[in-house]
Amino acid sequence: MIYRIADLVDWEVAQQTGFFASADLMAEGFMHASELYQVLATANRYYAGRADIVLLELDESELWMAAVPVQREYAEARDDYFPHLFAPVPLAAVVRALPFRPAAGGGHTLPAELEDLG
């Protein structure tokens, strides 16, 4: 599985169109995603305090079957490789969309459904 922190508005549009896409796909040519162990650092770095997001759990085999290119590329600022999605994601590849609200201090914790996996 790979994970995408998504603006709630983009997720709502996906419910109508059948495909998830976000502004970074148009601006950069790919959508940023994370491995499970990277989710919290990404959330707390870029989405601290935001309650208008969801965490999408994506099945990489479904992405492959839908011909959505996934490449793990090095991000020097984070000294790690991150999955990048080079096409809109069909809803069939979304295993679940989990609420991803910040805690009282503004930082995020993994949704309860993922705690045992992390």
Q: What are phi and psi of 77, to 5 degrees?
A: -60, -25
67 assigned to some structural domain: yes
What domain range includes position 74? 2-102
- Is 109 domain-assigned? no
Distance CA 104, CA 101 (A): 10
CA nearest to 53, candidates 78, 75, 22, 84 = 22
In a domain, 114, yes or no: no
Q: What pTM did the predictor assign?
A: 0.93
115 assigned to some structural domain: no
Q: Are 21 and 77 in contact (CB under 8 A)?
A: no
Would you say residue 27 lies in a domain?
A: yes
Q: How far apart are CA 89 and CA 101, in angstroms?
A: 23
Number of domains in the chain: 1
Is residue 8 a part of any domain in this protein? yes
pLDDT in tens, 6-62: 999 999 999 999 999 999 999 999 999 999 999 999 999 999 999 999 999 999 999
* 50 in any annotated domain: yes
Banded pLDDT at 63 (limits 50, 70, 90) = very high
Mean pLDDT, residues 91-101: 94
**CATH number of 95's domain:** 3.20.170.20
